[in-house]
Amino acid sequence: MNDFENLSISSAIEGLANKNFTSLELTEFFIKKIEKNKDLNCFITSTFDKAIEMAKISDQKIKENETRPLEGIPIGMKDLFCTNGVRTTAGSKILENFVPFYESTVSNNLWNSGAIMLGKTNMDEFAMGSANTTSFFGNVKNPLGSKVNKELVPGGSSGGSASAVSSGLCLGSTGSDTGGSIRQPASFCGLVGLKPTYGRCSRFGMIAFASSLDQAGPITKTVEDSALMLQAMVSFDKRDSTSSRQSIPDFSDFKKLSIKGKRIGIPKEYMIDGLNSDIKKIWDSGISWFKSEGAEILEISLPHTKSALPTYYIIAPAEASANLARYDGIRYGFRHNADDLNDLYEKTRGLGFGKEVKRRIMIGTYVLSAGYYDAYYLKALKVRKLISQDFEDSFQKCDLILTPTTPNVAFSIGEKQTNPIEMYLNDVLTVPASLAGLPAISVPSGFNSEKLPIGLQLIGKPFDEISVLAAGAVIEESRGF
Q: What is the pLDDT of residues 327-355, one digit of tens each?
A: 999 988 999 988 899 999 999 999 999 99
Angle between helical axes of 308-323 and 379-394 (0-180°, round to 10)? 130
pLDDT tens by residue, 259-289:
999 999 999 999 998 899 999 999 999 999 9
- pLDDT above 90: percentage of residues in the chain: 94
Active site residue 61: no
Q: What is the DSSP code string of 13-26?
A: HHHHHTTSS-HHHH
Catalytic residue among 181, 235, 445, 467: 181
Q: Are 207 and 77 in contact (CB under 8 A)?
A: no
Residue 378 CB neighbours (<10 A): 12
- C-alpha 155: how far from its chain's center? 10
Q: Catalytic: which of 23, 46, 78, 243?
A: 78
Tens of pLDDT, residues 419-472: 888 888 889 999 999 999 999 999 999 999 999 999 999 999 999 999 999 999
| CA 192/CA 445 separation, integer angstroms | 10
**Domains located in the chain, CATH noted:** 1-302+395-481 (3.90.1300.10), 310-374 (no CATH)
Q: How large is the average pLDDT for residues 1-6?
A: 77
pLDDT for position 442: 98
Q: Is 78 a catalytic residue?
A: yes
State pLDDT tens for residues 207-242. 999 999 999 999 999 999 999 999 999 999 999 999
Q: Which of 157, 173, 394, 467 is catalytic?
A: 157
Q: Is 109 helix (H, G, I), strand (E, B) or coil?
A: helix
What pLDDT does 481 receive?
55
Residue 1 pLDDT exceeds 50: no
Per-residue pLDDT tens over the stretch 116-166: 999 999 999 999 999 999 999 999 999 999 889 999 999 999 999 999 999
Buried b (16+ CB within 10 A) or exposed e, 162-181: bbbbbbbbbbbbbbbbbbbb
CA dist., res. 6 & res. 289, Å (int)? 26
Q: How far apart are CA 226 and CA 256, in angstroms?
A: 16
Q: Is 181 one of the annotated active-site residues of the chain?
A: yes
User: Tell me: the pLDDT tens digits for 290-323?
Assistant: 999 999 999 999 999 999 999 999 999 999 999 9
Q: Each residue of 31-45: pLDDT tens digit?
A: 999 999 999 999 999
362-408 pLDDT, tens digit per residue, is 999 999 999 899 999 999 999 999 999 999 999 999 999 999 999 99
